[in-house]
Copies of this chain bind each other. A is one copy, B any other.
Amino acid sequence: MIDAMTGARLGSFGPGSRLGILGGGQLGRMIALAAADYGIACHVFAPEEDSPAFDVCAARTIADYRDEAALAGFAAAVDVVTLEFENVPVESLVFLEAHVPVRPGAKALAVAQDRLSEKSLARSLGAMTAEFAAVNDRASLDTAIARIGLPAVLKTTRLGYDGKGQAKIMAQGDVARALAEMNGQPAILEAFVPFEREISVIAARGSDGHFAAFDVTENEHHDHILHRSVAPADLPEALVARAVDATRAIATALDYVGVLAVEFFVIDGDVLVNEIAPRVHNSGHWTSEGAETSQFHQHVRAVCGLTLGSAKARGQATMLNLVGDEANHWEKLLAEPGSHLHLYGKGTPRPGRKMGHITRITPRA
């Protein structure tokens, strides 16, 4: 809210305030829909003209994330900025932070964009990760393999998602090809983790430091794309506590405000931090119908400086992604008792494109 007399930004956010969202995908769309429940209008900044979030917001800026004139106009038009997409340049966030609160901020984004930083942070906080080493060239890759062993996975440190920028090294014969796939980018070698299960913790940290985690979610991927999430994960209490504690420690260390997701591998009775996503997360979509407060509402509350809502579950939840052609069955899914359909308003179902999802909530046994 902007003080009409002085033009100064007031601490208290509320009806009439405007939330800026960097990124116009389905996550931004669902953040904007949640904000609307609280009377908050959204301004979406995205480079793509056909961004799904544009259909549900009060104002749009179509510009490159590095366009400083556009960023300055955006900053002037909103009361707080958040992001739905972790590959926004950190410099753009630094630029915005000079004009308007940005939550989460550049610091959290910088760590989450860099696999080396995120794993180093997790380790420094006492959480476990796969063995890893920085790789810049053939020499450092050989040294890393000598220490970590094979099989291992070589990944670019930045801009990786849904399995892109990754190469498995099963044996010495794969090394040259894997390095070539990095395309000269800084990389990280990670020990191959023959994990039993993959889980994620979706949690929010408020501007007052209050922390609230949703039930731990178990995730199943197809072709490196999330296929199904189930919450709560059927996991021993001790592991749930370890995963939630690691997430809380990471959020606190990053001075994080908003919803974040931490992905873990479950192996040998322990949990290993795999990735930090500084945003609402696909594996948290079950919260829309499955929790007292959805991850999107919770994120809006956190970044707008409002009290966090209850993260309590409403039952046993399953979320199923609709990828590519799977969305063509939407009419059947809409008619299915107990299924809640969410479509993102994207034009054409392309292979691998996330078109929507469904949730199913059943009473907990």
Residue of B whose beta carbon sits closest to that of A343: B39
Q: How often does this chain occur in the complex, in copies?
A: 2
Cα distance, A327 to B16, chains bound together (Å): 12
Q: How far is the CA of A17 from the CA of B326 in the complex (A)?
A: 18
Complex interface: chain B residues within 8 A of A344 (CB) = 39
The count of residues in chain A whose C-beta lies closer than 8 Å to any C-beta of chain B is 41
For A32, the chain B residues whose CB sits under 8 A away are 56
Q: Please give, as numbers and ranges, the residues of chain B lying within 8 Å of A195 by CB-CB distance.
A: none
Of the candidates B38, B310, B345, the one whose C-beta lies within 8 Å of that of A341 is B38
Q: Which of A42, A301, A334 has the largest count of B CB atoms less than 10 A from its CB?
A: A334
Q: Is A194 part of the contact surface with B, judged by Cβ < 8 Å?
A: no
- Contacts A56-B57, A334-B301 hold; do A37 and B307 have CB atoms under 8 A apart? no
Q: Does A347 contact B (CB under 8 A)?
A: yes
Q: Does A331 contact B (CB under 8 A)?
A: yes
Chain A, range 173-224, C-beta contacts under 8 Å to B: none
Interface membership of A130, Cβ < 8 A: no
* A316 → chain B closest CB, angstroms: 15
Q: State whether the Cβ of A54 lies closer than 8 Å to any Cβ in chain B.
A: yes
Q: Which of A312-365 contact B (CB under 8 A)?
A: 327, 330-331, 334-335, 337-338, 341-347, 355-356
Contact of A41 among B15, B39, B306, B345 (CB under 8 A): B345
- How far is the CB of A34 from the nearest CB of chain B, in Å? 10
Residues A330 and B33 in contact, CB atoms below 8 Å apart: no
A343 close to B310 (CB less than 8 A): no
Q: Mark A37-49, 1 if CB is under 8 A from B, else 0.
A: 1111110000000
Tell me if A29 counts as interface (CB < 8 A to partner B): yes
Pick the contact of A54: B14, B42, B58, B310 (CB < 8 A).
B58
> Which of A15, A16, A292, A335 has the most chain B CB within a 10 Å cutoff?
A15
The listed residue (B41, B301, B343) touching A55 by CB distance below 8 A is B41
Q: Tell me if A36 counts as interface (CB < 8 A to partner B).
A: yes
Q: Verify B39–A356 contact, CB threshold 8 A.
A: yes
Annotate A273-293 by CB proximity to B: 1 below 8 A, 0 otherwise.
000000000000000000010
Query: In whole angstroms, how far apart are the Cα atoms of A301 and B334 in the complex?
Result: 9
CA A37 to CA B38, docked complex, whole Å: 17
Complex CA gap A132/B16 in Å reads 45
Contact of A56 among B33, B307, B327 (CB under 8 A): B33
A307 near B331: Cβ-Cβ < 8 Å: yes
What's the least CB distance linking A208 to chain B, in Å? 12
Say yes or no: A343 contacts B38, CB within 8 Å: yes
Instruction: Indicate which residue in B41, B56, B306, B335 contacts A36 across the interface (CB closer than 8 Å).
Output: B56
What 4 pairs across the A-B complex have the smallest Cβ distances?
A39-B343, A55-B58, A307-B335, A39-B345
Query: Chain A: residues with CB nearer than 8 A to chain B?
Result: 12, 14-16, 29, 32-33, 36-42, 54-58, 292, 301, 306-307, 309-310, 327, 330-331, 334-335, 337-338, 341-347, 355-356
Question: Can you show 10 pairs from A to B with CB atoms below 8 A apart?
Answer: A12-B331, A15-B346, A16-B347, A29-B36, A33-B36, A36-B56, A38-B330, A38-B341, A54-B58, A306-B331
